[in-house]
Amino acid sequence: MKRIQKTALAVTRWVGSPASLIIHTVLFIASFLAVHYDYVPFEEMLLILTTIVSLEAIYLSLLIQMTINYTTEAVEDIGEDVEEMQEDIGEIQEDVDELQEDVEEITEDETEDDARKADQKKTLVDIQSDLRKLMQDIERLQQPKQ
């Protein structure tokens, strides 16, 4: 079956080419020149030419239909692939959204940690200041009164 499909694709590709147009034109001209130079009678040439053209049209229509069927299958396969890719992209988007949420949570945690550290530092500075004042008060109290 694959060989027939390949042949159908090749023939329809060739029939749509400039080479095919030139060859068909040359054959039609040669047919009429054969009548003109009395190689073949006109009626016989028309009978042969009409038969050939009719058979060619029948086979070409079959081959073209086979090509259309093959192309339709290929397009359906591509459509399925696109749907799968869209599903994958959706899943990736969900993963990216989850990662974004995680990054935001980490950023919030870091901000909270920074705020907590700043509060701790301020508290330590306050404690040191209070200790200095306390030490000064103790020193004053320990000095004899005069």
Reading the block at residue 141, the tokens are 């109290």
pLDDT class of 33 with cuts at 50, 70, 90: very high
pLDDT class of 35 with cuts at 50, 70, 90: very high
pLDDT, residue 22, reads: 96
Residue type, 68: I
Q: Which residues lie below 8 Å from residue 34, measured CB to CB, with a gap of 6+?
A: 40, 45
The pTM of the full predicted model, rounded to 2 decimals, is 0.52
Percent of the chain with pLDDT over 90: 40
Q: Which residues lie below 8 Å from residue 40, measured CB to CB, with a gap of 6+?
A: 31, 34, 48
Give CA separation, 79 vs 31, 34, 36, 87, in Å.
Answer: 47, 52, 56, 12
Where are the domains positioned within the chain?
A: 2-142
Average pLDDT over residues 127-138: 88
Give CA separation, 19 vs 15, 56, 76, in Å.
Answer: 8, 16, 32
